[in-house]
Amino acid sequence: MDCDTTGYSLRSAVRCADCDTPLTACWTKGRSKHYPYYYCFTKRCESYGKAIQREKIEGEFESLLRTLEPSVPLFKTATKMFETWWNYRQAQIAQRGQALEDEIHKLDGKIEQLMDRLVETDSDSMVKAYETRIKKFEKTDRAVLVEKSGQSLRPMHSFNAALRTSINFIAKPHQLWSSGRLCDRRAVLKLAFPGGLQYHRNTGLRTTDTPLPFKVLGRLTSKRFQLAVH
């Protein structure tokens, strides 16, 4: 992956608000040096060829990114909620796995009973009937239960191992962006703004949607939700 620290971090991630086409970027030559700008190069668009200073658009983006950072108390509450949910899901999966194991045990008992009857019978038709039922139990019913049980009993990662990195990102998305690494910045854009962003040269940056984790944090700030928690 390209982890260059140069270039235009928002290129292709931000779309023109007039035509909804991804902005491109380039350096424009001035009297004594080159200057970085973003542009919409879609002909017939109202913003076609209109320069947007890189410093301006990326500065607005960083300000927007900072608004996503929750307060310390809110972050602690959210972390506790996520951890409670994670532990609840682990318990559910464990119960489901045990229930499947019990079903397998019962089915094995039925198969054993049929095997005993098969040995005891002298009727060819009954032998065939028992063999058919045993084959169905073993190759269909039991196989399905074993597969489901194997999936349920697969060891789950602990909360820290599975979600801690994501939780930390939600707490400080700007910190990852500030690394300056292009690969980190692409990760921020993908996680924080999966629906992308739009930019208008007059009104500035706008988001198309807020990711679910940040929506949850936003709801936590409401008085109604805080009362429900307490």
- pLDDT value at position 227? 42
Distance of CA 87 to the CA centre of its chain: 18
Residues 218 and 70 sit within 8 Å (Cβ to Cβ):
no
- pLDDT value at position 230? 46
Task: Pick the closest to residue 20 from 28, 12, 31, 8 (CA basis).
Answer: 12
Residues of the chain with pLDDT under 70: 1-6, 150-165, 210-213, 215-230
- pLDDT value at position 188? 87
pLDDT in tens, 122-177: 788 887 887 888 788 777 777 777 777 766 656 666 666 666 667 777 778 888 88
DSSP 38: E
Q: Which two tokens stand for residue 175?
A: 């910190």
Task: Pick the closest to residue 23 from 34, 9, 12 (CA basis).
Answer: 12
Is residue 206 left, alpha or beta, with left meaning phi > 0 and alpha meaning psi from -120 to 50? beta
Residues 130 and 8: their CA atoms lie apart, in Å, by 72
Segments making up each domain of the chain, as ranges: 14-69+172-229, 72-159
- pLDDT value at position 78? 75
Task: Pick the closest to residue 51 from 95, 16, 100 (CA basis).
Answer: 16
- pLDDT value at position 162? 60
Is residue 7 left, alpha or beta, with left meaning phi > 0 and alpha meaning psi from -120 to 50? left
Distance of CA 159 to the CA centre of its chain: 15
- pLDDT value at position 229? 45
